[in-house]
Amino acid sequence: MRFLATTIGAVLAAAATALAGCGDPGTVSVELLAYDEVADEYVIDAVDITTLDDVDRLQGRATKIVGGADITLDYQKNELQRDDPGHAVAFGAFEQDGVLIPEDFDSFAMASAYYNIELSLLFYESLGMEEGALVDMETFYWPDFTLIESDGEETIMEDNAFYMFVSANDRGFYVFPYADFQWLPMSMNGGIMTHEFSHAVFDAFVEDPSRQMVDGGMTLSGANLLYGMNEGIADFMAVARTGDPDYMEHSIEKGVFSVQCNSATYKEIVRDASVQWNYSASIDDPARSVQADAFCPYDVGAFFAAALYAIADGIDTENAPEQAPSHEALRTVARALFESMGDLGQTLTPDFELWDMFGLMVENLGPEHADAACSVLEERYAMYYDQVAGC
């Protein structure tokens, strides 16, 4: 679905329309873009936001929206500089039949970002994550963000959304203006925001111990494979929450944008978890030879996400074989994946291999689903299938 909007940048500086009672916590209904799985498109609908403490400022348990920040990430100096840390935003809306209707594009976009992060948080809590497991995270909306590469090249960030770790108490999300991606803005794409939220979860449950290991001598292949798996986990969790294996396509058209991956061939930015990927030398060799600062993780990630999607399909008892896996099957695999992330964080070694994680997955899926998982891995991960514990 093509979504065109006129940006009204003044909203961050202007006072919001008074919203009676909206400063109080509780459930509020807001008209936003929501994914319709049956139609496979985003439609404007009234949705419930349940974790806000302050609707006027879009602050709550899920995140706090911050506007007006001026940030420079300098890889030459290896530092993040906040020339302006930003400020609370003003959400402008009017009420109609109990539903808040955003009155400008920025209010619409900021509320969408909050809503999609909330959905991601509640999804992970439904998988077993304890409330409060993540530090309170801010979401920087359309910051002036300059990226300085190690060679000195400067880029003003657009057309992106990401999670970034700065310190144990400074982790957050960044959503940028869109320029070339003229479909659904990334902050309004629920799958993309769950992908980014999943990086935060991975950071909390796996990456904290591994960051010390990477700094302290993790093997090249271990670091690269862990990086690639992080992308695959984020993709699969986005798929499991939305039920959409091709969630990125709503924002990024296929055949238009691509990236060069590990100096080999150009790869589509859009990745579809329902497409079969087999682990091969073309994926494995770069993970074992390309230096970490040049390694492209997306082939490993695409393989990993597609393997888990196929496992969900294999354990599905609700849908016919030619149908996509059911939500229950996807969430069964997602729950085992979340548990495995916690286990990996406690057992990670400097020479990490994907088969370590697959072994944890087989264990956490339990005897009922182990055969289905092993059947997929025997086909898709044949190179190292004999290393997977439990298969």
Q: 356-374: per-residue pLDDT in tens? A: 999 999 999 999 999 999 9
Cβ of 52: how many Cβ atoms within 10 Å?
26
SS3 string, the chain, reads CCCCCCCCHHHHCCCCCCCCCCCCCCCEEEEEEEEECCCCEEEEEEEEECCEEECCCCEECCCEEEECCEEEEECCCCEEEEEECCEECCCCEEEECCEEEECCHHHHHHHHHHHHHHHHHHHHHHHCCCCCCCCCCEEEECCEEEEECCCCCEEECCCCEEEEEEECCEEEEEECCCCCCCCCCHHHCHHHHHHHHHHHHHHHHHHHHHHHHHHCCCCHHHHHHHHHHHHHHHHHHHHHHHCCCCHHHHCCCCCCCEEECCCCCEEECCCCCCCCCCCCHHHHHHHHHCCHHHCCCHHHHHHHHHHHHHHHHHHCCCCCCCCCCCHHHHHHHHHHHHHHHHHHHHHCCCCCCHHHHHHHHHHHHCHHHHHHHHHHHHHHCHHHHHHCCCC
Res 152: pLDDT: 86
Per the structure block, which two tokens stand in for 227?
Answer: 């990086």
Token pair recorded at residue 26: 């509780």
Give the pLDDT of residue 264.
Answer: 64
Name the nearest CA neighbour of 44 among 31, 54, 55.
31
What is the predicted pLDDT for the residue at 262? Answer: 78
Q: What's the pTM value of the predicted model, to 2 decimals?
A: 0.91
Per residue in 324-342, pLDDT (tens digit) is 899 999 999 999 999 999 9
Q: Output the pLDDT for position 56.
A: 95
Q: Which residues of the chain have pLDDT under 70?
A: 1-25, 181-182, 209-214, 216, 263-266
